[in-house]
Structure 1
Amino acid sequence: MIRTVLGDIAADTLGVTDSHDHLFFASTKLPGQELDDPAAAEAELRAFAAAGGQALAQWTPIGLGRRAEELPALSEAAGVHIIAATGLHQAVHYSPEKLPRLLDGLAERFIAELGEGLRGDEEPDGPPLPPRAGLIKVAGDFHQVDRHASVVFEAAAAAHHATGSAVAVHLEGGTHPLGVLRTLHDRLGVPAGSVILGHLNRFPDPGPHREAAEAGAFLGFDGPSRANHATDWHLFDLLGSLVESGHADHVLLGGDTTSAAARAASGGGPGIPFLLTDIRARVQRDFGPEVAGAFFRRNPARAFDADWRV
């Protein structure tokens, strides 16, 4: 089953999926670029649906303006499944006053959001809202799992073991995928097939990508966006390497729209629809419909599938 904001669905009904994006997102690292407009989010999601999109995983975790109360209505209005996230980002995204409160009882908070419902960003210990989380978002640091990440990873692993949900990882600059996998899989016992390694396009080294795929992890290539364009031209070389080495069944693609300026509906784009109008079109042309079906349908259905226990 895959847990969406409107309820659990069979994995094989998920459809064409943007495996990493943001309808709402607000961070002190991007002042003035908050994704906080429900009307703009709906316009972006409708454009994605018009391009053939059927599902979107929003990786916005606790405390970063994920607007949980808006997600069910958006899903219904656009006719797109939305998978919401619990979890916690890097420490730099939170104020020093807020972070200690969030870290207290973190595993229990994750489990509650997966099983009972998301909390409001300003009331992390408040009553649950109707939508439940369907994945756990965490983050490493540049070439390392720092002290903050170690605490969050332990909570995420506990939540995975309690619920069966996937753990999706922001890799800073695309770095340290194998170190992250060692921490989650080898030390904390999270199955590699329940780990999604994000932003691999930002560090275009195919060797670690193949090794992570061989271990069983899912590989997230989540661009392009304005923040990542310097490495966009490497994307198809990296995908081609994985296809040629027999690892097409481990690839996930997403838009990762994190700023208002990057939206197609209300900014300068390319926005969420670009993933389908341009990236998927080239995947089909370069690698064929079978590979495109794996990247956009079959792999997301496996990556976000869970034997839900709460």
Structure 2
Amino acid sequence: MSRVRTVLGDIEPEELGVCDAHDHLFLRSAQLPGRELDDVDAARAELAAFRAAGGAAVVQWTPYGMGRRAAELPGLARSTGVRLVCATGLHQAAHYGEELPARLRGAGLADLFVTELTEGIGTTGVRAGLIKVAGGFHGLDAHARRTMTAAAEAHHATGAVIAVHLELGTGALDVLDLLCGELGVPGERVVLGHLNRFPDPVVQRQAAESGCWLAFDGPSRAHHATDWHMPDALRALVEAGFGERLLLGGDTVAAGARSVDGGPGMPYLLRRVRPRLARAVGAELVDRILGEHPGRAFAVDWK
């Protein structure tokens, strides 16, 4: 039976509710010095604001070694009533600077992912519910290939979904060639993130043909083609028959981007993005994208 693995335990897919399918409560990166998401009170306030806007669940894509604060997540879920899903996996090497342990550069990476998915993250008792990895700009470097190979091994061992950061939205077909072609991961077990940052309709349709999930996330970023391309992109995919493969997320990655710190934050997804997309593809479909699709995308028949 397929279940979504939250930080408070496994639930039925339909129990997830209205979901921000890609976001971050906590995040630390060598690429974002001084902009860390590490304030528990701010995270609680952001979840409360999202809940007040009608949100019920958040999938946090923060992977291993980037300040997930997994031990804090069960308490936040209980106090706010928002269901939380935590990730294992590994981002691009640049996000770790000199902190990437030597053992994560070689063998044993798949074992780490499997352990965090099945036994828990450290001593927290929190089990991860997905594997997050990352591609490069218009291609895959050796680190990306190594982490995706480990992610595929962990998928085959557990059934877990693999969520992929596409650098500036590029490289989707290279990712699918590796994961679904060479490594045998079913398309429906892959989520491609940041497609809105490189709004190529041909690539998006080709990616959708694999059966993967297409995540449009990170709204209201002035340096990306996000909000103003998103309605047309979704409409084109719906007209091509891929409306049932779509996900939406906020992808808050730095202090100052949260709504409680003056940014758009998680509530913006429901407050502004939702009605705008409803005008483009219909409210009924947008309701399914937010309230039904994440449960289907992240539910796993855990092995």
Give 1:293 shift. 2.3
Report the Cα distance in structure 1 between the residues aligned to 2:268 and 2:81, rounded to whole angstroms: 18
Report the Cα distance in structure 1 between the residues aligned to 2:280 and 2:247, rounded to whole angstroms: 16
Q: Which amino acid aligns with 1:26?
A: R
Aligned twin of 1:276: 270
1:27-82 residue CA offsets vs partner (Å, 9 max, x unmatched): 11111110000000000001001111011100000010110010000111111110
**1:143 maps onto 2:138 in alignment:** yes
Structure 1: runs of 5 or more not aligned: 120-127
Give 1:100 shift. 1.7
User: Which region of structure 1 is more displaced relative to structure 2, 287-296 or 241-250?
Assistant: 287-296
Aligned twin of 1:60: 62
Report the secondary structure of 1:232's partner residue: coil
Question: TM-score w.r.t. structure 2 length?
Answer: 0.96
Report the Cα distance in structure 1 between the residues aligned to 2:87 and 2:44, rounded to whole angstroms: 18
User: Which region of structure 1 is more displaced relative to structure 2, 276-285 or 110-119?
Assistant: 276-285
Alignment of 1:19-34 (within 5 A): 19-34=21-36
- Given candidates 204, 212, 215, the residue that maps to 2:210 is 215
Report the secondary structure of 2:244's partner residue: helix
RMSD: 1.3
Q: Percent identity over the alignment?
A: 57
1:177-223 residue CA offsets vs partner (Å, 9 max, x unmatched): 11101100010011000000000001010111111112101001112
Aligned twin of 2:287: 293
Report the secondary structure of 2:227's partner residue: helix
Structure 2: runs of 5 or more not aligned: none
Aligned twin of 1:6: 8
Aligned twin of 2:115: 112
Question: TM-score w.r.t. structure 1 length?
Answer: 0.94
Distance 1:181 1:94, change over 3 A: same
Alignment of 1:218-233 (within 5 A): 218-226=213-221, 228-233=223-228
Report the Cα distance in structure 2 between the residues aligned to 1:256 and 1:21, rounded to whole angstroms: 4
User: Does the CA contact (< 8 Å) of 1:202 and 1:228 recur in 2?
Assistant: no
- Structure 1 runs of 4+ with >4 Å offset: 227-230
Aligned twin of 2:19: 17
Report the secondary structure of 2:147's partner residue: helix
Report the secondary structure of 1:260's partner residue: coil
User: Does the CA contact (< 8 Å) of 2:139 and 2:171 recur in 1?
Assistant: yes
Report the secondary structure of 2:129's partner residue: strand
Q: Which amino acid aligns with 1:279?
A: V
Q: Which amino acid aligns with 2:234?
A: L
Residue-pair matches, total: 300
Distance 1:97 1:27, change over 3 A: closer
Report the secondary structure of 2:65's partner residue: coil
Q: Which amino acid aligns with 1:34?
A: E
Alignment of 1:64-213 (within 5 A): 64-104=66-106, 105-119=108-122, 128-213=123-208
User: Does the CA contact (< 8 Å) of 1:11 and 1:302 recur in 2?
Assistant: yes
Report the Cα distance in structure 1 between the residues aligned to 2:169 and 2:105, rounded to whole angstroms: 25
User: Does the CA contact (< 8 Å) of 2:198 and 2:225 recur in 1?
Assistant: no
